[in-house]
Amino acid sequence: MSLSTHVLDSTRGLPAAAMSVRLESPGGITTALTDADGRVRDFGPLTAGTHRLVFDTGAYFTGLGVPAFYPEVVITYGIDDPEQHYHVPLLLSPFAYSTYRGS
């Protein structure tokens, strides 16, 4: 079905717009930018297997003039049923991050 993500900058209390996000999957590599709401709404068709979302947090914080400890955040997860929708949010600050499987 589909995969989406939503990046929230918890320090600013705003969506993380224009962040580069790379999907590495058994089906190949796809790169997207988060929209004004901090979302990538669909990376395209899914395949079963291990996937990685790589968030370019270093460039995002550098663009804001903020030093950051993590130059990138990598979230590795498994997709068992490509017919389902998967949502992987990222809550972010310069020195911490959190994620979960959303809906």
Instruction: Check if CATH label 2.60.40.180 holds for domain 3-99.
Output: yes
Provide the residue ranges of all domains of the chain, joining segments of one domain with +.
Answer: 3-99
**Model's pTM, two decimal places?**
0.96
| Strands 85-93 and 2-9, sheet pairing | parallel
Handedness of CA 30, 40, 52, 62 (dihedral sign): positive
- State both tokens at 99: 């994620």
Per-residue pLDDT of the chain (103 residues; tens, 9 = 90+): 799 999 999 999 999 999 999 999 999 999 999 999 999 999 999 999 999 999 999 999 999 999 999 999 999 999 999 999 999 999 999 999 999 999 8
Q: Are 22 and 31 in contact, with CB atoms under 8 Å apart?
A: yes
Task: For residue 88, give the amino acid letter.
Answer: V
Q: What is the pLDDT of residue 1?
A: 79
Q: What is the pLDDT of residue 6?
A: 98
